Amino acid sequence: MTFWKQALEIARVDMVVERRAGETLRIVLPFSVVALMVFPLALGLQLNIVSVVGIGVFWALGILFGMQVALRQSATDTAERRDLQALAGVDPAARFAGRVLSGGVLMAGFLGLMLLATAILFDPNVPRGGWPVLLVSTVLVAIGLTELGTLAGEVTTGLRARTPLASLIVAPLALPLVIGASQAVQALERDTSILPWVLLLIASDLALAVAGVALARPLEEATR
Partner 1 sequence: MRRVRILMGVAAIAVAIGLWFALTAPPDALQGEYARLLGIHPPAMWLAFLAFGVTALGSIMWLINRADRWDRLASASVEIGVIFTAIGLFTGMVWGQAVWGTPWDWQDPRLMSTAVMFFVYLGYLALRNAIDDPTVRARRSAILGVVAVIQVPLVYFSVNLFRTLHQTQSIRPDGSTMPDEMLTAMLVNMVAFTILYIALMAARLDVARAEAEAKPETSLAGDAVRPPLLNEIEDV
Report the interface residues with partner 1, using CB under 8 A: 151, 155-156, 159-161, 165, 168-169, 171-173, 175-176, 179, 207, 211, 215, 218-219, 221-222
- The residue (of 97 and 200) whose beta carbon lies closer to partner 1 is 200
DSSP state at residue 45 = S
* Closest listed residue to residue 105, CA positions, set 58, 79, 59, 72: 72
Q: Are 147 and 100 in contact (CB under 8 A)?
A: yes
If the CB atoms of residues 110 and 197 are measured against partner 1, the closer one turns out to be 197
Which one, 47 or 203, has the nearer CB to partner 1? 203
Residue 187 DSSP code: H
Query: Which of these, 57, 53, 72, 92, lies nearest to 14 by C-alpha position?
Result: 72
Answer for the pair 96, 123: CB distance below 8 angstroms, yes or no.
Answer: no
Q: Which of 145, 65, 151 minimizes the C-alpha distance to 104?
A: 145
CB of 210 to partner 1, least distance (A): 10
Q: Is there a contact between 99 and 11 (Cβ–Cβ < 8 Å)?
A: yes
Least spacing, CB of residue 168 vs partner 1, in Å:
4
Q: What is d(CA 90, CA 118) in angstroms, rounded to the nearest whole number?
A: 40
Give whichever of 132 and 172 is closer to partner 1, judged by the CB atom.
172
CA distance between the termini of the chain? 24
Nearer to partner 1, 16 or 210 (CB): 210
- Shortest Å distance, C-beta 186 to partner 1: 11
In the complex, minimum distance from the CB of residue 223 to partner 1, in angstroms, rounded to a whole number: 8
Contact between residue 122 and residue 51 where contact means Cβ atoms under 8 Å apart? yes
Nearest residue (CB) to partner 1, 29 versus 184: 184
Instruction: Give min distance, CB of 222 to partner 1, in A.
Output: 4
Smallest separation (angstroms) from partner 1 to the CB of 48:
21
